[in-house]
Structure 1
Amino acid sequence: MCSINSLRLLILGCKWSRDYRLSNYKRRARIFHGINLSSTPVEYSPQILKYRILERFFKRRLKNIYQRFSKVPDNTTIQGFKYVYFMKADGIYRMDTRQGDPKAEKVLFLASLWDGDWSLQRVRLSPNEQILAATVKSPHREEARCVLVRLGNRTLDPTQPLLTIEKVFSFEWATDDVLFYSSQQGLQCHSVFRLDLTSPGTSNTLVYHERQADVFVEVTLSRDRRLVLVNCSSKRCSEVWLIDSATPLMEPTLVQARLPELLYHVEHYHGQLYILANTGHGQEYQVLQAPLSSPSMEHWTPVCAPGPGTAVKDMEVYQDHCVLSTRGPVGLLELQVVPLAQPHATSTLQLAQWACTTETKRAGLADSGWLEFFLASPVHPPVLYRYSPRENLLLVQEEHSTPQECYTTRIEAPSQDGTLVPVTVFHTAALGELRAAPLLVHVYGAYGMDLNMEFSPDRKLLVEDGWALAYCHVRGGGERGLGWHRQGRMEAKLRGVEDLTACIHKLFDLGVSTPSLTALTARSAGAVLAGALCNQQPQLLRAVTLQAPFLDVLGTMQEPSLPLTLEERAEWGDPLAEPLHKETIASYCPLHNIRPQLYPSMLITAYKADSRVCVSGVERYVERLREAIRTHLSGQSASGLSPESEPIPSVTLDLQPGTDHFGPEDFELSLSESARQLAFLYTELGLAQPKTRDGRR
């Protein structure tokens, strides 16, 4: 399937990536299972030292829970014709599936090629399994390096790659000798090159260059491997160029030139293009069809459109069917199966009630006859499902056992304008028995992105300790389709803050926790809503954790020289050109609305060389916040008022080395960071240190 959750985001990546770009959980589990743990030193500021003892305790618990879930299925294997390829902590291995007792053979040994930390980003096999290509990224660089390894029956030397290419973001094989790749410069990706291994000196030829600064270019491949697709996407529009794998030296063909607010994505099947475009009712996605020979918009004919309130997340064309992965009005995941010969005979297949995310397993070289995908939730590890459209048959792999039952409850909170905002709650006790339970609220609400709800052993640990977890799907995100995003972007961004406030009040009204036991967590652009809420209604929360937080919206949007400002204006507005945009941003920007009052305690994690979020803005936010709290307390004392009953909030900046906006790749550093956040939450909420399974504290 081709994920369409977003176009170009604050994070780097486009929605048509079919990759296993590893989450923190997947990276940690793979490293834990693959190699001995490292002993990388951790930096501690004086403010963080008070959490140190409890951090050690949680780090031990986290290692145990990652051990429990280290062998759940994931998307890090690729099936070739002869071998199955899989990723481990030190490189890429393969096993001959034709042998009765296959032994793992190392294909690429990265530790011998580069010093320091690294992570695999993408892996691709050439059509006849002759060459493997993989991108490898250091946490200290934005750009990845592409490595080519010659396969075959000869004995492999995993330390000697065929070729390396610098600064590669995406890549796909057209033939065994021709590779297309997009070249990355910092946070921008504007050029596509063709690598021809048959030419003397392995010729690199520029085949596409994007001149528009806010457009990001990515190379993908149709499922049937017939077309290499050059996807050019901004937050407001997109266009796609086609390269026929049978004639890879020909110039790309344009499907449809970009138009304002037109978003579309392309698949191919039996000489026809199947286009997912926001040309449906309310500018939502619908499926259209066009001949490969006449791909422009004037030849698009409708195939099907999901019903009102249904958000399309993925599209796959396979076995004479178009399979849409959708999220229904109440948040449940579904498959809508459309027979291409009879599109009006669409059927809907309800997926597991507990499922919150779906991730398609990348198709191998040999057709298995099944669409394979993983379902997961923050507290439920991934489960592999297989689906045959022709037989309408859904099979599930045996689920990983979970020792404690967890409820998944979906509710709706009426926002200030009456809009119902979905909330997903995970808990082990009945909903009405959670008044004394600690509550961790999650929010994002930007770029049309769904809130991250993939499996997290960290969150599993909290639920097992009796916490309730609430995921607030506020406007600005994509949970209810493209319109849900439009209702919470630019001058409507304040709606996201109103939605978050309504969600928390609804939880309290239902008997879930109290303000003194409630914490809020957000990362990156989600910190905008979290910070705005803390300025407006700090009494709703006791603690907040922010990671790589975007806090100075006004300052960033007024500085066009910053890497992402130009393309981010489609999300936040242009305060230099539009007075209304400036006024709106100024009304909610976390940094510019701090005032003397008691704030929740905060743990703010930032990375010194983060190229997406300037650390200087984070440091100014921390300074102003501390000063506002001091001013408030001084005013209370000078006026002779009695001290407030709540404890004095703690504002801690955890400033870590490195450039990666997504957190450390190193297992020990990553685990320490999560353990520190848990120690902070338990300390600031005044919770007793929990017991482990053997009864020890």
Structure 2
Amino acid sequence: MNLITSSCLLLLRSVSRDIRRRNIHPLISRLHTETTAELPRAQLQKLRDQEQRFKRRLLSVHRKFAGVPENSEVSNFPGERHVYFEDGKGIYRSTIGQGEQEMLEVFNTDWTGGGYGTIQRVRLSPSETMLAVTVKKDHHEETRCVLVHLGDLVLRQKALLVLDNVFSFEWATDDVLLYSTQETLRCLRVFRLHLSDSGVRNTLVYEEKDPEFFVEVSRSRDQRLVTINCSSKISSEVWFVDSKTPLSSPTLIQARRPGLLYHVEHSDNYLFILANTTANQEYQLLRAPLASPSMSHWVPSFGAVPGTVIKDMELLQGHCVFTVKDSQGRLQIQTLSTQEPYQLNTHKLPHWACDVSPQRVGAVDRGSFGFLISSPVHPPVHYLYSPREQKLSVTEDNTKNMSLTEFNTTRLQAASQDGTMVPLTLLHTPALSELHKAPLLLHVYGAYGVDLSMAFCPEKRLLLEDGWALAYCHVRGGGERGLAWHQAGSVLQKRRGVEDLAACVQTLHRLGVSRPALTALAARSAGAVLAGALCNHNPQLLRAVILQAPFLDVLGTMQDPSLPLTVEERGEWGDPSIREHRDNIASYCPCHNIIPQLYPSMLITAYSEDRRVPLSGVVKYVERLKRAIQMCTTQVGANAVILDLQPGGDHFGPEDFHPSLNERAKQLAFLYTELGLDHPKTRRRLKVTGKSHKTQN
């Protein structure tokens, strides 16, 4: 469980998904055809040829890494007596100690019916008699929760009960399930499902009245408490149900206050609370008795060392494990004993580590903490921390023959317009001094207090092997440097993120890393706000831009409260009904600041039924952009603007593997074509040099 990432932000994670093409609205089909056809025939043919080559290469690289651990909560998890495996559309189990000899299917997505085909979340009841699984509808965000009675399974099982529109859920006992429901992307209600001999009883136990809040259900690591977490962009509130009295009404821990954010764990009748109660309003650990949970009883136990921020916390038996990040983005694990005498230990992670992903589902050993570490180009490696031995060790490493023999992780800082130093992570194979001719791909997000995703991605590995430099810009508005970093780039300060991004690009070019003609930028969803604003103000810095499910019409969207997320996201972008907020949004909104000038070439992928980013805003942006470019040049195809409209409503992209491969191949073909890189010769032209796994600071 990631304590300091709210549910609504978890929905923004980037995953490799795909969708099948199907018949769509004639207007959408016509727009897609016209946009693509604007390219000269020779350029279009070259793009298609490149796409076919990259399909083959991507298929090869995905096969190469098929055996590495996944950053997934579903793939493999233990129960009390069995081990469970997720494989495609099914979940199977085998008895502990018997390997895969007696594999038994306990769930299949076909049991749900209605086109629900992707497993999202899995929970075992405490004594492993019940299984609950949420499955997402193909090409949409609707989910369905299926309950299966495990017992002594012998024959093919059927669904015991099916619940629609379930977002999060946890077992309080073997016969009591608490779950939240989602309607038009909002989670406002929590229900308690009680299974008994007399039948099934479903009761509403919590209803949120404030539309700016999002509600999710989670469970303490010791399985004692089920918590109801209510979060907005600026405050939070937590209720709990004790599994010893599962039919009782939820208990409030601390009523919401503007600016107060907190998250809760439990052990030995004490609450361990991660709250932003330090002098600079960053997270620290506090403790309170379960019987007296309110803020007046919170006692501070641990705060991050100055210059570092707490990114996550796991509570073990007798120890807290913190994932901590320093000012340059380096990760470390810190452990604190929960009983006197308190003892703090710091464990350094490999210098290339950019992402930490806890690995636990179902019954777990509270005496240890398992997690994966990875980087965009380094496959995940499984680590285990044992507090008894005070030891951090590699338990499984399938990457020895898959790791690059030579690559560099260089951590830099860029001075922004107001003097703020912005962290920047650069991944490259040639030495830093030899990157002046290397193509450069930048990445940015900078919203919601969420860190830029830096988990392993096979496509990024392919680019690195081709001699590219990959830059990750940790701009204000994201969460890389804590809560204050987010606040410094939200609402009235949103333009700071644009200035930070420009500073990162300029710093790299000044250091001799690539040049504008070989520089591209990739962003998705809210990250497109900063990317689009940069293109309006500094188009000369980039040659190509890739945008996925992009949020481009901030002003138009935030002025329409009927849209699903408008009210909820005022804490991030502002409220246009307030004149100061409206003027500020208008000053940076990508769609409303397009001017006649030469823009970088763009590949924009949008989804026809995306409820998070209205298609009308994307189309409006593309039409305005095309008109602006046409006013500056009569050369057809000089600056390509490709609107790739895909069917479906999954904001996070397609799910099926092969169509997903097609989408990635199209993006790579676009990059190589627009940057003038010849696909077969790229790796020979950019000679690899440098020291093995070197970090430069």
User: Does TM, scored on the shorter chain, surpass 0.5?
Assistant: yes
State how 1:302-313 maps to structure 2 within 5 Å: 302-313=300-311
- Alpha-carbon distance, 1:657 to partner: 0.2
Match of 2:671 in 1: 681
Please say if 1:670 is aligned against 2:671.
no
Q: Secondary structure at the match of 2:569?
A: helix
Tell me which of 650, 656, 676 is aligned to 2:646: 656
Equivalent residues of 1:6, 1:448 under 8 A apart:
no
State how 1:587-602 maps to structure 2 within 5 Å: 587-602=587-602
Please say if 1:73 is aligned against 2:64.
no
State how 1:51-450 maps to structure 2 within 5 Å: 51-74=47-70, 75=72, 76-99=75-98, 102-111=101-110, 113-114=112-113, 116=115, 118-158=117-157, 160-198=158-196, 200-342=198-340, 345-367=343-365, 369-396=367-394, 397-400=396-399, 401-402=401-402, 404=404, 405-450=406-451
State how 1:598-637 maps to structure 2 within 5 Å: 598-633=598-633
Distance in 2 (alpha carbons) for counterparts of 1:112 and 1:255: 39
Equivalent residues of 1:8, 1:234 under 8 A apart:
no
1:580 counterpart letter in structure 2? E
1:484 counterpart letter in structure 2? W
> Comparing 436-445 with 345-354, which one deviates more in the overlay?
345-354
> Comparing 357-366 with 285-294, which one deviates more in the overlay?
357-366
> Comparing 98-107 with 424-433, which one deviates more in the overlay?
98-107
Equivalent residues of 1:117, 1:666 under 8 A apart:
no
Judged with a 3 Å threshold, the aligned counterparts in structure 2 of structure 1 residues 241 and 413 are, in CA distance, closer, same or farther, namely same
Equivalent residues of 2:89, 2:119 under 8 A apart:
no
1:264-298 Cα distance to aligned partner (Å, 9 max, x none): 00000000000000001210000000000000000
- Alpha-carbon distance, 1:367 to partner: 2.2
> Comparing 364-373 with 441-450, which one deviates more in the overlay?
364-373
Structure 2 unaligned residues grouped into runs of 5+: 37-43, 686-697
Match of 1:574 in 2: 575
Root-mean-square deviation over aligned CA pairs: 2.2
Judged with a 3 Å threshold, the aligned counterparts in structure 2 of structure 1 residues 455 and 567 are, in CA distance, closer, same or farther, namely same
2:632 counterpart letter in structure 1? H
Equivalent residues of 1:288, 1:301 under 8 A apart:
yes
Greater RCO, CA 8 A, separation 6+? 2
Equivalent residues of 1:444, 1:522 under 8 A apart:
yes
Match of 1:518 in 2: 519
Judged with a 3 Å threshold, the aligned counterparts in structure 2 of structure 1 residues 504 and 100 are, in CA distance, closer, same or farther, namely closer
Judged with a 3 Å threshold, the aligned counterparts in structure 2 of structure 1 residues 291 and 368 are, in CA distance, closer, same or farther, namely closer
Distance in 1 (alpha carbons) for counterparts of 2:679 and 2:58: 14
Distance in 2 (alpha carbons) for counterparts of 1:446 and 1:473: 10
Match of 1:638 in 2: none
Q: Secondary structure at the match of 1:617?
A: helix
Equivalent residues of 1:319, 1:390 under 8 A apart:
no
Distance in 2 (alpha carbons) for counterparts of 1:692 and 1:590: 33
Match of 1:16 in 2: none
Please say if 1:45 is aligned against 2:43.
no
1:135-159 Cα distance to aligned partner (Å, 9 max, x none): 000134322100111112231414x
Distance in 1 (alpha carbons) for counterparts of 2:621 and 2:536: 12
Judged with a 3 Å threshold, the aligned counterparts in structure 2 of structure 1 residues 248 and 117 are, in CA distance, closer, same or farther, namely closer
1:22-72 Cα distance to aligned partner (Å, 9 max, x none): x534x68xxxxxxxx999899873544542221111111111111111111
Match of 2:583 in 1: 583
Equivalent residues of 2:354, 2:373 under 8 A apart:
yes
Judged with a 3 Å threshold, the aligned counterparts in structure 2 of structure 1 residues 541 and 693 are, in CA distance, closer, same or farther, namely closer
- Alpha-carbon distance, 1:690 to partner: 2.8
State how 1:459-608 maps to structure 2 within 5 Å: 459-576=460-577, 578-608=578-608
1:227-272 Cα distance to aligned partner (Å, 9 max, x none): 0000011111100001000110011100000000100000000000
Q: Secondary structure at the match of 1:495?
A: helix
Judged with a 3 Å threshold, the aligned counterparts in structure 2 of structure 1 residues 250 and 354 are, in CA distance, closer, same or farther, namely same
Equivalent residues of 2:3, 2:263 under 8 A apart:
no
- Alpha-carbon distance, 1:669 to partner: 1.7
- Alpha-carbon distance, 1:580 to partner: 1.4
Equivalent residues of 1:522, 1:547 under 8 A apart:
yes
Structure 1 unaligned residues grouped into runs of 5+: 14-20, 29-36, 635-642
Distance in 1 (alpha carbons) for counterparts of 2:619 and 2:274: 43
1:133 counterpart letter in structure 2? A
Distance in 2 (alpha carbons) for counterparts of 1:474 and 1:7: 22
Equivalent residues of 2:288, 2:299 under 8 A apart:
yes
Distance in 2 (alpha carbons) for counterparts of 1:40 and 1:380: 36
Distance in 1 (alpha carbons) for counterparts of 2:7 and 2:598: 39
Match of 1:24 in 2: 15
1:499 counterpart letter in structure 2? D
1:129 counterpart letter in structure 2? E
- Alpha-carbon distance, 1:398 to partner: 2.2
Match of 1:31 in 2: none
Distance in 2 (alpha carbons) for counterparts of 1:579 and 1:228: 42
Equivalent residues of 1:118, 1:665 under 8 A apart:
no
Q: Secondary structure at the match of 1:231?
A: strand
Normalised by the length of structure 1, the TM-score is: 0.92
Distance in 1 (alpha carbons) for counterparts of 2:584 and 2:353: 36
Distance in 2 (alpha carbons) for counterparts of 1:482 and 1:7: 17
**Identity over aligned pairs, percent:** 57
Equivalent residues of 2:220, 2:265 under 8 A apart:
yes
> Comparing 37-46 with 86-95, which one deviates more in the overlay?
37-46
- Alpha-carbon distance, 1:600 to partner: 0.3
Equivalent residues of 1:450, 1:477 under 8 A apart:
yes
1:420-459 Cα distance to aligned partner (Å, 9 max, x none): 1001011110011011110000000001000011111111
1:605 counterpart letter in structure 2? T
- Alpha-carbon distance, 1:633 to partner: 2.1
2:288 counterpart letter in structure 1? A
Distance in 1 (alpha carbons) for counterparts of 2:518 and 2:208: 50
> Comparing 404-413 with 676-685, which one deviates more in the overlay?
404-413
- Alpha-carbon distance, 1:116 to partner: 4.3
2:151 counterpart letter in structure 1? G
Distance in 1 (alpha carbons) for counterparts of 2:20 and 2:211: 41
Equivalent residues of 2:139, 2:654 under 8 A apart:
no
Equivalent residues of 2:61, 2:458 under 8 A apart:
yes
2:263 counterpart letter in structure 1? H
Match of 1:637 in 2: none
Distance in 1 (alpha carbons) for counterparts of 2:637 and 2:112: 52
Judged with a 3 Å threshold, the aligned counterparts in structure 2 of structure 1 residues 539 and 692 are, in CA distance, closer, same or farther, namely closer
Distance in 1 (alpha carbons) for counterparts of 2:304 and 2:176: 38
Normalised by the length of structure 2, the TM-score is: 0.92
Q: Secondary structure at the match of 1:603?
A: strand
2:639 counterpart letter in structure 1? P
Equivalent residues of 2:423, 2:474 under 8 A apart:
yes
Distance in 1 (alpha carbons) for counterparts of 2:626 and 2:503: 27
Equivalent residues of 1:143, 1:186 under 8 A apart:
no
Equivalent residues of 1:321, 1:390 under 8 A apart:
no
Distance in 2 (alpha carbons) for counterparts of 1:429 and 1:100: 44
Distance in 2 (alpha carbons) for counterparts of 1:59 and 1:536: 35
